[in-house]
Chain A
Amino acid sequence: MEHGSKQYKRFLTGDDEGIVEIIRLYKDGLILYLCSFAGDIHTAEDITEEVFVKLVTKKPHFSGKSSFKTWLYTIARNAAFDFFRKNAKISDKPIEDYAELATEQADFERQYLQKERELMLHNALKKLKPEYRQVLYLIYFEGFTNSDTAVIMKKSKRQIENLMYRAKKSLKAQLEKEGFVYEEL
């Protein structure tokens, strides 16, 4: 049984350690994914916590038709939209917090994305359109297949292929602008 589903089953039968283990496994990846919606790491962290709160309060049914990780990232995407619908008018962060936030975000990314090449790519992603960031993050950094990504982003596989094509083109242009040549794109 893959990572996550066993722990979720344990949690549903009353063992809270199951959810603690899920949080350990997926917290950091979810924060970086949600950062592509939120733009800053603290909001992404808040939404990530909401995702786990949703799991423990609503206890949604995991059918096993997709992988647990795909299912969890789908919930995360919905939670991001819910969050922004509810908080559309709230912006209470003083401007001076942003410098500190940027350093903290960079440290976090360095910790999660250990390879220099990944870090460089991830930094380039930040300058792309949100939808491009999301599709590239899911496929390149989290290793989802096109089909999984289609499930998470609620698009058809064909739409994901089109989106990837445009996102890669945009990323390549961005990297070239910064002086990098990336043959694999």
Chain B
Amino acid sequence: MKSYKEMAENVLRRRNEYNTAKKKRTKKLLISITAATLTLIAGTIGVGAAVGSLRLLSDKGESKITSEIRTDVHTEAVAGIEMNIAEFLSDGHCVQMTVHYTATDNNGKKWLAGTQFSADTCSIKPDIKDGNSIEYGVNYGYSCYEYENYRTETDRYFYLGFYASSGEYGTGQAKFTYPMPDGEKTMLMNTQDNVGTKWYRLVSDKQPCDDFNVKYLTLSKLSFAIYGDNINIYEITESDSRMTDDHTPLEDIPIYAVMESGNRIRLKWSSGYTETTAKLENRYTDLVIASGSVIEFVPDSTEEINYIRQYVNTDKIQKIRIGDCCFELEPIEE
């Protein structure tokens, strides 16, 4: 075992190696950054459309989501800073946006350079009715990161997003919190009328385990959720419900989208918030058994990104395989 001093020496040596390598990389990137900046400056198309290509750099899948991206959604200007929601994409479960800050004078430049942006200071989260995530059976994760290659003295671009286990949280809105020179601000955004969600009945003559019955699927170009009836996930009493000790851990059951081509794509879980009270809001069932984004994670060899996120073309999903069971998709008319 290393002593703390040995570990500290290793850590600081690796920091120095990282910094040296980063300087070399920065020189290599200069050409591509210049090209991107020129596109932004010289393009005759609007800022929103130009940024439309920014987001797609990380989403190289076949899913045709470009047309659904709403651009130039909202602009606000205060004391040398302009904040623009350049892109917005949502199906209620999953919301993604690009936020562009521009400094319009020297004070704005100073503010932009000195402001820390993180998920703590700049975020979008579901606006759950009365803040009651337990009642609505909704769990969510949110993130904020910067498109650092596009950072200049006057411009910074950020990706913001959240993923919720259910799109039904009572308000149909998300709360966007963001910093401005005159303080932190919030605004509510409609999350429901952008990317459509379809409902399917999941049909099979057997079930993947004895703890729940799989019943329905919601699917959009961004996300999926599988709903079912509780058998042995929750022990329900008159006053309370508690997860049972002996149920199959849901995360251990793999879920695949079976495509028309016959290929199978493993769908990533985000841990569901399986609450029996979800029955109140989810139209048909007790449980959100599984939910996540319809993204294929393709391994990438680049140094800092471990995989490329590719949106799956959901129109070509033929079946859903859960564990050993294959389910046919039977569309439900709204």
Q: Mark A38-69, 1 if CB is under 8 A from B, else 0.
A: 00010001001100110011001101010000
Contact check: which of A16, A27, A63, A86 meets B306 at CB < 8 Å? A86
Q: Given contacts A86-B306, A154-B141, are A49 and B120 in contact (CB under 8 A)?
A: no
Q: Given contacts A65-B120, A166-B245, are A108 and B1 in contact (CB under 8 A)?
A: yes
Are A61 and B8 in touch, CB under 8 angstroms? no
Q: Which of B165-184 contact A (CB under 8 A)?
A: none
Are B12 and A19 in touch, CB under 8 angstroms? yes
Contact check: which of A52, A104, A170 meets B7 at CB < 8 Å? A52
Are B11 and A49 in touch, CB under 8 angstroms? yes
Are B242 and A52 in touch, CB under 8 angstroms? no
Contact check: which of B1, B8, B19 meets A104 at CB < 8 Å? B1
A52 to B2, CA, bound (A): 14
Q: Mark A62-99, 1 if CB is under 8 A from B, else 0.
A: 01010000000000000000100110000000000000
Contact check: which of A53, A60, A155 meets B14 at CB < 8 Å? A53
Check B134 for interface membership: any CB of A closer than 8 A: yes
How many Å from the CB of A71 to the closest CB on chain B?
10
Q: Mark B1-32, 1 if CB is under 8 A from A, else 0.
A: 11011011011101100110000000000000
Are B242 and A165 in touch, CB under 8 angstroms? yes
Interface band, chain A: 20 to 34
Among B10, B11, B121, B242, residue most surrounded by chain A Cβ atoms (within 10 Å): B11
Check A110 for interface membership: any CB of B closer than 8 A: no
Check A139 for interface membership: any CB of B closer than 8 A: no
A155 to B242, CA, bound (A): 15
Chain A residues positioned under 8 Å from B273 (CB to CB):
156, 159
Q: Given contacts A20-B5, A156-B139, are A162 and B243 in contact (CB under 8 A)?
A: yes
Are B1 and A16 in touch, CB under 8 angstroms? no
A156 to B140, CA, bound (A): 10
A61 to B139, CA, bound (A): 24
Are B10 and A41 in touch, CB under 8 angstroms? no
Check A158 for interface membership: any CB of B closer than 8 A: yes
Give B contacts to A, CB under 8 Å: 1-2, 4-5, 7-8, 10-12, 14-15, 18-19, 116, 118, 120-121, 133-134, 139, 141, 242-243, 245, 271, 273, 306
8 contacts between A and B (CB under 8 A): A27-B7, A49-B2, A49-B10, A56-B11, A57-B19, A60-B118, A63-B120, A158-B134
In the A-B complex, the 9 residue pairs with the smallest Cβ-Cβ separation, listed nearest first, are: A63-B120, A56-B15, A20-B8, A24-B4, A52-B11, A57-B18, A61-B118, A23-B8, A162-B243
